[in-house]
């Protein structure tokens, strides 16, 4: 199993450009989520999905779109990048068991800089 | 609603001395609690997890945490710090199948 993969690892964008951060998992997990990490802020939830075709907003959704057409993929789209979106982005996939709670697996992260 | 408060943004200890990283949580339901570690420019690694079994949870690398419901705390401890423990530590809460909620992190420095 490759686990959770993210591409690209690094990206530099100019203000106003658009791009898609890719996330894929091969563990057949129902739940997937996107976080951003900023210094002193921990990880904050952007969007999450509880299954194909179902997405919901997290704590900081503005400026980001998601879709979940398959169980495996959960891309994050920046429609018009802003310097405030400079961050490290983590994708995660997870499954839930009543006796073990949420088992979450994180991708390696994408470092995005918007100039 | 759930939340996590990490009481110290930075903790500095000498090598060989005990480590205590403090975490308080708020959750409407029975929580699952986690500690993650992140070394510089690295990804997230799960240290340990509490899910309503034993209240004292042992993790990797000699870390452990105790769930105290009456104090709504889940502090992380290690008897003897090692230089390789220097990293950022995150306390995290979840309830049922809700997404994880992270604390803001505690940076641990270990002095030789």
Q: How far is A63 from chain B (nearest CA, A)?
A: 20
- Which residues of chain A make contact with B102, given a CB cutoff of 8 A? 35, 42-44
pLDDT at A101 (0 to 100): 77
Name which of B61, B57, B58, B65 is nearest B24 in CA terms: B65
B102–A44 C-beta distance less than 8 A = yes
Chain A nearest-CA distance from B48, in A, is 11
pLDDT in tens, B44-55: 999 999 987 789
| DSSP-derived 3-state class of residue A74 | coil
CB contact under 8 A, B100 and A101: no
Strands B45-50 and B106-111, sheet pairing: unpaired
pLDDT at B30: 83
Q: Contacts of residue B98 in chain A, CB cutoff 8 Å? A: 102
Whether B102 and chain A come into contact, CB under 8 Å, resolves to yes
Confidence of residue B105 (pLDDT cuts 50, 70, 90): very high
pLDDT tens, position by position, A65-110: 999 999 999 999 999 999 999 999 999 999 888 777 778 999 999 9
CA distances A36 to A33, B57, B69, B100, B102, Å, are 10, 28, 30, 13, 11
């Amino acid at each position: 199993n490759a686990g959770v993969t993210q591409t690209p690892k690094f990206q530099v964008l100019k203000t106003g450009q658009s791009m898609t951060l890719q996330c894929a998992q091969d563990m057949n997990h129902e739940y997937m989520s996107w976080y951003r990490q900023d210094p002193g802020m921990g990880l904050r939830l952007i969007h999450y999905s509880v299954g194909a075709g179902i997405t919901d907003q997290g704590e900081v959704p503005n400026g980001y779109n998601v879709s979940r057409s398959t169980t495996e993929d959960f891309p994050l789209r920046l429609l018009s990048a802003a310097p405030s979106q400079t961050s490290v982005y983590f994708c995660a996939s997870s499954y839930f068991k009543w006796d073990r709670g949420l088992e979450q697996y994180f991708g390696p992260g994408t470092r995005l800089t918007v100039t | 609603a759930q939340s996590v408060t990490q009481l110290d943004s930075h903790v500095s200890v000498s090598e060989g001395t005990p480590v205590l990283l403090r975490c308080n949580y708020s959750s409407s339901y029975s929580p699952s609690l986690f500690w993650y570690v992140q070394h510089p420019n690295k990804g997230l690694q799960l240290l340990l997890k509490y899910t309503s079994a034993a209240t004292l949870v042992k993790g990797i690398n000699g870390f452990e945490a105790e769930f105290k419901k009456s104090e709504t705390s889940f502090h992380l401890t290690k008897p003897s710090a090692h230089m390789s423990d220097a990293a950022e530590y995150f306390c995290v809460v979840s309830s049922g199948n809700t997404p994880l909620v992270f604390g803001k992190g505690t940076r641990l420095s270990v002095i030789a």
